[in-house]
Structure 1
Amino acid sequence: MRSNIWKGSISFGLLNIPVTLQTADQDRDIHFSMLDKKDLSRINYKKFNAQTGREVPYERIVKGFEYEKGRYVLVDENDFKKANVKATQTIDIEDFVLLSDVDPLLFQKPYYVAPQKGAEKGYFLLRDALKKTKKVAIAKIVIRVKQHLVMLMPRDEYIVLEILRFAHQIKETDDVDYLREIKGTHTHYNPRELKMAEELIAGMTEKWKPDKYKDTYYNDMMKLIDAKVKAGKGHEVFMPTKEERIEPTSNVMDLMPLLKKSLAASKGKSSATEKAPRAAHKKKAASSSRSARMH
């Protein structure tokens, strides 16, 4: 099923080419869950209200910008769109450059660009123009309320969009301590050693075939995991239901449900425990009242 990351248009001179962005990379990382070594229970990370200590459901979370210490203004999705409607709906081509002039350090994340229905002519026109001129397009796009610098380039029959880092996001070599230390260093080596190194490079030079290179670490790790499963070394991990989940005990308020649950077996003790705080509160209030009258 097609999953649109972004939907809008490429602005190319007077041309407006409706397109969508589709993910080009695959998540092939091995993901591990955090477990408590004591009982193999899952470690959960939740969002809590800083005032009450209670968990906040996703649908109740809003974005706020702190414009001065402790004061926020709320911003919603409509506000982001209103900020610059054109920026959120178009890929604005600003320049055309040679691919060889773009520093690979700037490359960040690729996407496939797909034409929307009826936009094929403009799409393929841009693709073929890029191929014929051997150029790539530099543009800007807003994805999820953040503006990105991007590069549009032809790849086989399609157009690929590569998100680029802005120049200020790359460290200059002088900002890297070790590189700064070795700058200007001259190491002496035998000319014959250089010649042998050149011959070694020539002997190992191949045509670039990305499919040739495999993630051997991923394959080896999965074999190890499969072997553990087949050897019966798997463990059942406790997954509490919503009702059983323990609330965090960051303050006195959060302790009350736990105390009540722990003392439920002893009705008398539970009753006494509930009355004691109320009596103490009345006593404290009375004491405060007497103190106020004295003053």
Structure 2
Amino acid sequence: MAVAHKGSISMGLVLIPINLHRATLDKDIHFNQLEKESKARIKYKKYCSHCGKEVGPQDIIKGYEYEKGKYVIMTEDDLEKIKTKRDKTIHIIQFCKISEVNLIYFEKDYYAIAEAGAEKAYELLRQTLLKEKKVAIAKTVMGQNEKLLVLYPTKEGIIVKTLFYYDEIAEIPKKIPKLKLDENEMQMAKMLVENMTKVFHPEEFRDEYQARLREAIMRKIQGKEVVTADSDETSNNVIDLMEALQRSVKLSKQNSESETA
């Protein structure tokens, strides 16, 4: 797997050289855009808005529009000059409980892999975090952005999670009203939760829509028509909340019993 970012974790005076590898895979089916009549690929060209000439990567530089139509040029050398030594490390700022970090701040995950010779310091950090049940809050510059990070210990290694900043989180568009709930409805809801509670095993889940999409594509390749997917979902047109809860509890109990049978 390609290295997404190279750096070092700095914890006080301890420096741990690491490489970051993406922790997720894109397994979605991606479609190409085609011209309706010829079925040929639609391609996009980069061209100069002044002379209309097509340009390649070697002809493109970075510019910031500070006034309408006026740009200041920033070279790669300029961007490197403003990075401090601290920016080039994943410097730990503090430690905290993972429960103190709201899940809405999580952006991307990376595997932190220690470079040769840094394994002992890496393992010291990982085991200490596990024992203390803490995570590390850190910062580093990736590309042209300073990233806020969480260093999360696991039994296998350390996961680096990039975080959104506080001012990047949008406000809730509408406040949820705090309504008084009926005790019987609460009890039924509690029963539903209890009936549907079991240990989470991520390997049991897969993208079922993508599987149906792959099957539909294969049918089209073979010259067959796409078959309408059957739905075994129960009717959801129950208006009364209590009735919906009762039916849900009954269904969840039946499912639970069939799984244990």
Same fold, TM-score > 0.5, yes or no: yes
Q: Aligned partners of 2:32 and 2:156: how far apart in 1?
A: 40
Once the two structures are TM-superposed, the CA of residue 232 in structure 1 deviates from its matched residue by 7.5
1:220 matches 2:219: no
Q: Report the residue type matching 1:161 in the other structure.
A: V
- Kindly tell me: are residues 224 and 87 of structure 1, through their superposed partners in 2, closer, same or farther at Cα, counting changes over 3 Å? farther
Which residue does the alignment assign to 1:112? 111
Which residue does the alignment assign to 2:100? 101
1:140 matches 2:139: yes
Asked whether the equivalents of residues 81 and 88 of structure 1 are also in contact (C-alpha less than 8 Å), the reply is no
Q: Report the residue type matching 1:143 in the other structure.
A: M
Asked whether the equivalents of residues 8 and 90 of structure 1 are also in contact (C-alpha less than 8 Å), the reply is yes
Once the two structures are TM-superposed, the CA of residue 88 in structure 1 deviates from its matched residue by 4.2
Which residue does the alignment assign to 2:167? 168
Q: Report the residue type matching 1:47 in the other structure.
A: K
Once the two structures are TM-superposed, the CA of residue 18 in structure 1 deviates from its matched residue by 0.5
Q: Deviations over 1:257-281 (max 9, x none)?
A: xxxxxxxxxxxxxxxxxxxxxxxxx
Q: Aligned partners of 2:58 and 2:214: how far apart in 1?
A: 36
Once the two structures are TM-superposed, the CA of residue 157 in structure 1 deviates from its matched residue by 2.0
Q: Deviations over 1:36-72 (max 9, x none)?
A: 1122121112211001122211121110122333322
Q: Aligned partners of 1:80 and 1:16: how far apart in 2?
A: 24
Which residue does the alignment assign to 1:183? 177
1:206 matches 2:185: no
1:131 matches 2:130: yes
Counterpart of 1:205 in 2: which secondary structure?
coil
Once the two structures are TM-superposed, the CA of residue 152 in structure 1 deviates from its matched residue by 0.2
Alignment of 1:265-284 (within 5 A): none
Q: Aligned partners of 1:214 and 1:86: how far apart in 2?
A: 43
Alignment of 1:1-295 (within 5 A): 2-173=1-172, 176=173, 179-180=174-175, 182-184=176-178, 186=179, 188-231=180-223
Which residue does the alignment assign to 1:258? none
- Kindly tell me: are residues 190 and 40 of structure 1, through their superposed partners in 2, closer, same or farther at Cα, counting changes over 3 Å? same
Q: Aligned partners of 1:148 and 1:126: how far apart in 2?
A: 20
Q: Aligned partners of 2:192 and 2:146: how far apart in 1?
A: 45
Counterpart of 2:85 in 1: which secondary structure?
helix
Q: Aligned partners of 2:161 and 2:149: how far apart in 1?
A: 6
Q: How many residues align?
A: 225
Q: Aligned partners of 1:73 and 1:157: how far apart in 2?
A: 46
Once the two structures are TM-superposed, the CA of residue 87 in structure 1 deviates from its matched residue by 4.3
Counterpart of 1:153 in 2: which secondary structure?
strand
Q: Aligned partners of 1:62 and 1:211: how far apart in 2?
A: 45
Q: Aligned partners of 2:137 and 2:37: how far apart in 1?
A: 54
Q: Report the residue type matching 1:213 in the other structure.
A: F
Counterpart of 1:110 in 2: which secondary structure?
strand
Q: Aligned partners of 2:87 and 2:222: how far apart in 1?
A: 50
- Kindly tell me: are residues 78 and 88 of structure 1, through their superposed partners in 2, closer, same or farther at Cα, counting changes over 3 Å? farther
Unaligned runs of 5+ in 1: 234-295
Q: Aligned partners of 1:190 and 1:130: how far apart in 2?
A: 43
Q: Deviations over 1:72-121 (max 9, x none)?
A: 22212222111013244200110101001110001110000000111111
Q: Deviations over 1:230-260 (max 9, x none)?
A: 2279xxxxxxxxxxxxxxxxxxxxxxxxxxx
TM-score, normalization: structure 2? Answer: 0.82
Q: Aligned partners of 2:76 and 2:16: how far apart in 1?
A: 25
Q: Aligned partners of 1:140 and 1:4: how far apart in 2?
A: 19
Structure with higher Rg: it is 1
Which residue does the alignment assign to 2:251? none
Give the fraction of aligned pairs with identical amino acids, expressed as a percent.
39
- Kindly tell me: are residues 89 and 203 of structure 1, through their superposed partners in 2, closer, same or farther at Cα, counting changes over 3 Å? same
Q: Report the residue type matching 1:227 in the other structure.
A: R
Q: Aligned partners of 1:20 and 1:74: how far apart in 2?
A: 31
